[in-house]
């Protein structure tokens, strides 16, 4: 494309293109990334995305940290759905140490993960609306995310960067208030979601704006390595929760919504439908919630009760070792992936023994989407480029890690 | 009393009211938006946040004045001035009520009754685009320039459809004076009955002319940051924003005068009101109607997404323009066959 544009320039020597910096700080980028656009009026002739504005070297930092201290790093990948990142990391470590998590903890994790998927999709869908100019849907529906964060707050004490769960299970059982808030949420959310759908979904202007905006074919999407809602919008029914079930997802009945054209409208609709599916998963998990312990018996990784620490020798030793980060982790190499809010979030973990990983790689879906971004916006209008970016839901934290 | 003095007082009152209404539209809009979005809205300054516009004005005056070093300084300052000037000038020909009798002399509640009022209105509205164009161009910022280009092409395109919608109205009323148009609606029905299609076209074009959603592309923040006013700060920015609210108010007044009987209200001569009291009640009704349309502007803004640039042009040239022409044609035919020439 670049070459073509250049040859155009040489043949029509008078033609001068306008270079526009979309970002690093632009209201539409919802984060910090830069796109150097070559514009012919409002039409994008060439695009060059840059990455790294909030690169924090998480993979390198992880090489010096004990496993339980890597969880807060994962919070800051896709900060719109940090619980999924946390859970993915816990499950990776559990896979490495061969720890079987009790059913109750798995179901609790499913509830938390689906809640955060809803939170993630609430952000993405409302932001698509906001970027088309429909501010009301954004501010109105956003209240639901607040409700979800209140539940998280009740479960783990934090809201955005949750550090939720522990290696081997959950840090504590859901409290009474948490169940109550979950009930209220499940009652209120369908109303809000339907209202939001009614406002936006069949709006003529919204449809005109989003249909055929930044499309990508299933072949190209697969070639780039798309996963998650963005791949499903292109028509491929690939969902890790079904393809490689983890955390008892095989126990639940749910559909995988797929789109056809891979355009912004399909990405929007897939996310809307996924919220309904997530809601149904939560409902099933609440109904089927088994009794039992909420964490596995892995004293090397799971902090003992405070009373035991003060009264028992073993507990005191394990407590000391965990807190000081001196747990010896077995050698091994594992890959585990979860269906994140944005796609396949993978953790490739190599351990050569000792307290910290030898190498940890995050497979971040946003990084992959962003590679396809120029292809999706070239020859389109500037307005389309902005909608495409928000519908891909590229989160800067996950893009740059 | 000297008629000139009275006129001066009326001019002063009209400007004061226009500015006041525009000021409080900012508060009203925020309250309406808050209501639609299930929020509280401004409620800190004064009861129900009523002093918020004053606080905003103070803030605007106190902010640092920044003129980009690479900009054309004169044009940069001229931009918001033109915007504000044209916005205020449009209010001149609007009749606010009937006649007022003070000390045996009667005065119209209108600054001036031009016999080419509609033409004057259009002339001034067309000037408004210069403020945005000059401001956007002089900023020497690519986003501002894009915003200015969008604004100018949008306003020029929609002015044509708007003008044609008015042509049909002028055909039925046979006058270019706003006062006469309003008075005719006192005798017969409101013009909306004769010109429903014309009204819809005019309404849509009014949204486009005032750069309000869903036609707020020139300043759409998600694409162009601030559009033509990206580089502006302090009161120069305030002027641009304020001009938009004045335009909204004036557009509502024009819509009401053209299509909804202006200051007239049903059965106004049957209920036994006369003289000054009738005039005041009329003005009250006028404001009631205008408030509805101002509210309508807010309502649409906080409900609809915005168009894309090419869709906007398609709507303007391929839908509204032909519709306006058809409207003229049909109006002409009906007038010919009913012998109402």
The pLDDT of residue A257 is: 92
Whether residue B314 lies within 8 A of chain A, CB to CB, comes out as: no
The H or E element containing residue A111 is: helix A103-132
Least confident segment among A246-260, B16-30, B80-94, B211-225: B211-225
Query: Which residues of A make CB contacts under 8 Å with B?
Result: 18, 20, 26-28, 41-42, 129-136, 139-140, 143, 199-200, 203, 205-206, 208-209, 381-384, 386
Output the six-digit token pair for B341.
């020439």
- Specify if B12 maps to a domain: no
d(CA A47, CA A11): 21
The pLDDT of residue A186 is: 92
Q: Do A383 and B308 touch (CB under 8 A)?
A: yes
Cβ atoms A248, A110 nearer than 8 A: yes
Q: Do B303 and A136 touch (CB under 8 A)?
A: yes
Q: How many CA atoms lie within 13 A of B197 on its CB side?
A: 18
Residue with tokens 């983890």: A246
Q: The domain containing residue B197 runs over which residues?
A: 68-337
d(CA A345, CA A327): 26
pLDDT tens, residue by residue, A230-257 = 999 998 989 999 988 988 898 899 999 9
Q: Do A382 and B37 touch (CB under 8 A)?
A: no
C-alpha to C-alpha distances, B42 to A263, A364, B31, B32, B84, nearest whole angstrom? 38, 41, 7, 11, 25
Which residues of chain A make contact with B137, given a CB cutoff of 8 A?
A: none
The pLDDT of residue A398 is: 87
Closest-CA residue of chain B to A385:
B223
Residue with tokens 């600054």: B111
Q: Would you tell me the crossing angle of helices B234-259 and B196-209 to the nearest 10 degrees?
A: 180
pLDDT tens, residue by residue, A318-352 = 999 989 888 888 999 999 999 988 889 999 999 99
Q: How many CA atoms lie within 13 A of A344 on its CB side?
A: 22
Least confident segment among A191-205, A347-361, B223-237: B223-237
Question: b/e string for A132-157 if b means 16 or more Cβ within 10 A?
Answer: bbbbbbbbbbbebbebbbbbbebbbe
Cβ atoms B91, B254 nearer than 8 A: no
- Specify if B322 maps to a domain: yes
- Specify if B101 maps to a domain: yes
d(CA B61, CA B72): 22
d(CA B107, CA B122): 26
Q: Do A136 and B37 touch (CB under 8 A)?
A: yes
Q: Do A205 and B33 touch (CB under 8 A)?
A: no
Q: Do B309 and A139 touch (CB under 8 A)?
A: no
Output the six-digit token pair for B171.
């055909």
d(CA A173, CA B341): 84
Q: What CATH number has the domain spanning A58-400?
A: 1.10.645.10
Contacting residues for A303 by C-beta, under 8 A, at least 6 apart: A166, A171, A318, A319, A322, A323
Residue of A205, A210, A379 to mutate when probing chain B, most B C-beta within 10 A: A205
What is the pTM assigned to this prediction? 0.87
Shortest Cα distance, chain B CAs vs residue A23, angstroms: 10
Least confident segment among A28-37, A269-278, B158-167, B216-225: B216-225
Q: How many CB pairs under 8 A join A and B?
A: 72
Which residues of chain A make contact with B149, given a CB cutoff of 8 A?
A: 41
**ipTM rounded to 2 decimals:** 0.84
pLDDT tens, residue by residue, B188-238 = 777 787 888 888 999 998 888 888 878 877 666 667 777 788 888 888 888
The pLDDT of residue A1 is: 44
Residues A188-202, mean pLDDT to the nearest whole number: 90
Q: Do A205 and B304 touch (CB under 8 A)?
A: yes
Residue A118 has pLDDT above 90, yes or no: yes
- Specify if B105 maps to a domain: yes
C-alpha to C-alpha distances, A64 to A332, A352, A356, A359, B105, nearest whole angstrom? 17, 13, 6, 10, 91
- Specify if B18 maps to a domain: no
Of A365, A335, A328, which is closest to residue A350 (Cα–Cα)? A335
SS3 of chain B: CCHHHHHHHHHHHHHHHHHHHHHHHHHHHHHHHHHHCCCCCCCCCCHHHCCHHHHHHHHHHHCCCCCCCCCCHHHHHHHHHHHHHHHHHHHHHCCCEEEEEECCEEEEECCCCCCCHHHHHHHHHHHHHHHHHHHHHHCCCHHHHHHHHHHHHHHHHHHHHHHHHHHHHHHHHCCCCHHHHHHHHHHCCCHHHCCHHHHHHHHHHHHHHCCCCCCCHHHCHHHHCCHHHCCCCHHHHHHHHHHHHHHHHHHHHHHHHHHCCCCCCCCCCCCCCCHHHHHHHHHHHHHHHHHHHHHHHHHHHCCCCCCCHHHHHHHHHHHHHHHHHHHHHHHHHHHHHCCCC
Residue A102 has what DSSP assignment? Answer: P
pLDDT tens, residue by residue, A169-180 = 888 888 999 999
Shortest Cα distance, chain A CAs vs residue B153, angstroms: 13
Q: How many CA atoms lie within 13 A of A342 on its CB side?
A: 31
Total number of domains constituting chain B: 1
Mean pLDDT of chain A: 88
Q: Do B305 and A133 touch (CB under 8 A)?
A: yes
Cβ atoms B15, B278 nearer than 8 A: no
- Specify if B218 maps to a domain: yes
d(CA B268, CA A283): 62
Output the six-digit token pair for B173.
């009323």
Question: b/e string for A78-117 if b means 16 or more Cβ within 10 A?
Answer: bbbbbbbbbbbbbbbbbbbbebebbbbbbbbbbbbbbbbb
Which residues of chain B make contact with A131, given a CB cutoff of 8 A?
A: 222
d(CA A378, CA B263): 53
Cβ atoms B310, B225 nearer than 8 A: no
Cβ atoms B96, B107 nearer than 8 A: no
Closest-CA residue of chain A to B216:
A133
SS3 of A62-79: HCCCCHHHCHHHHHCCCC
Residue A2 has pLDDT above 70, yes or no: no
Output the six-digit token pair for B150.
């969008």
Domain positions in chain A: 2-50, 58-400
Shortest Cα distance, chain A CAs vs residue B328, angstroms: 27
Residue of B152, B224, B300, B308 to mutate when probing chain A, most A C-beta within 10 A: B308
Q: Do A136 and B225 touch (CB under 8 A)?
A: no
């Amino acid at each position: 494309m670049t070459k073509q544009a250049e040859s155009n320039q040489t043949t029509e020597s008078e033609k001068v293109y306008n270079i526009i910096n979309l970002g690093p700080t632009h209201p539409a980028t919802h984060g910090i990334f830069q796109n150097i656009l070559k514009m012919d009026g409002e039409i994008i002739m060439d695009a060059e995305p840059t990455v790294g504005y909030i690169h924090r070297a998480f993979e390198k930092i992880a090489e010096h940290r004990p496993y339980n201290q890597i969880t807060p790093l994962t919070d800051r990948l896709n900060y719109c759905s940090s619980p999924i990142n946390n859970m993915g990391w816990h499950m990776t470590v559990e896979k490495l140490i061969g720890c079987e998590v009790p059913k109750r903890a798995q179901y609790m994790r499913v509830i938390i993960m689906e809640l955060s998927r809803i939170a993630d999709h609430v952000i993405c869908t409302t932001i698509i609306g906001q970027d088309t100019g429909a501010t009301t849907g954004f501010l109105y529906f956003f209240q639901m995310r607040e409700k979800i964060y209140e539940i998280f707050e009740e479960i783990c004490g934090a809201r955005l960067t949750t550090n939720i769960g522990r290696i081997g299970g959950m840090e504590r059982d859901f409290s009474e208030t948490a169940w109550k808030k979950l009930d209220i949420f499940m009652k209120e959310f369908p109303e809000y979601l339907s209202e939001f759908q009614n406002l936006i979904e069949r709006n003529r202007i919204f449809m005109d704006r989003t249909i055929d905006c930044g499309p990508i074919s299933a072949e190209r999407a697969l070639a780039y390595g798309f996963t998650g809602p963005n791949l499903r919008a292109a028509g491929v029914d690939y969902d890790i929760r079904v393809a490689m079930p983890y955390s008892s997802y095989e126990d639940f009945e749910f559909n995988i919504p797929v789109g056809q054209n891979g355009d912004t409208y399909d990405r929007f609709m897939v996310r809307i439908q996924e919220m309904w599916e997530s809601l149904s998963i939560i409902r099933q998990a609440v109904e089927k919630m088994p009794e039992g312990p909420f964490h596995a018996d892995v004293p090397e990784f799971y902090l003992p009760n405070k009373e035991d620490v003060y009264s028992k020798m073993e507990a005191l030793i394990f407590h000391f070792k965990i807190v000081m980060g001196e747990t010896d982790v077995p050698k091994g190499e594992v890959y585990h992936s979860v269906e994140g809010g944005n796609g396949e979030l993978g953790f490739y973990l190599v351990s050569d023994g000792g307290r910290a990983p030898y190498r940890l790689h995050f497979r971040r879906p946003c990084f992959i989407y962003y590679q396809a971004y120029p292809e999706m916006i070239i020859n389109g209008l500037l307005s389309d480029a902005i909608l495409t970016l928000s519908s891909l839901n590229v989160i800067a934290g996950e893009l740059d890690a | 009393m000297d008629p000139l003095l009275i006129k001066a007082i009326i001019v002063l009152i009209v400007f004061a009211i226009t500015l006041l209404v525009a000021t409080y539209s900012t508060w009203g809009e925020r309250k309406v938006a808050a209501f639609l979005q299930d929020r509280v809205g401004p409620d800190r300054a004064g009861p129900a946040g009523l002093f918020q516009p004053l606080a905003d004005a103070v803030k605007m005056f106190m902010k640092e004045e920044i003129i980009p070093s690479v900009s054309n300084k004169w044009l940069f300052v001229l931009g918001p001035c033109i915007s504000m000037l044209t916005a205020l000038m449009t209010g001149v020909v609007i009749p606010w009520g009937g006649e007022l009798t003070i000390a045996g002399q009667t005065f119209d509640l209108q600054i001036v009754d031009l016999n080419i009022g509609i033409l004057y209105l259009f002339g001034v509205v067309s000037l408004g685009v210069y403020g945005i164009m000059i401001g956007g161009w002089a900023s020497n910022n690519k986003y501002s320039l894009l915003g200015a280009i969008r604004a100018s092409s949008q306003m020029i395109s929609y002015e044509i459809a708007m003008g044609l919608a008015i042509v049909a109205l002028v055909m039925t009323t046979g006058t270019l004076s706003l006062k006469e148009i309003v008075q005719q609606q006192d005798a017969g029905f409101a013009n909306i009955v004769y010109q429903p299609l014309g009204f819809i076209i005019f309404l849509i074009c009014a949204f486009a002319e005032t750069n309000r959603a869903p036609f707020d592309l020139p300043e759409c923040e998600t694409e162009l940051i601030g559009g033509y006013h990206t580089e502006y700060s302090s009161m120069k920015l305030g002027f641009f924003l304020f001009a938009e609210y004045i335009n909204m108010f004036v557009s509502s007044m024009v819509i009401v005068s053209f299509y909804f009987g202006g200051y007239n209200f049903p059965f106004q001569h049957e209920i036994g009101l006369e003289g000054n009291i009738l005039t005041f009640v009329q003005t009250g009704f006028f404001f009631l109607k205008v408030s509805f349309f101002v509210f309508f502007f807010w309502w649409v803004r906080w409900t609809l997404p915005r168009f894309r640039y090419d869709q906007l042009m398609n709507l303007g040239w391929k839908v509204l323009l032909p519709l306006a022409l058809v409207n003229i044609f049909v109006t002409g035919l009906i007038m010919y066959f009913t012998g109402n020439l």
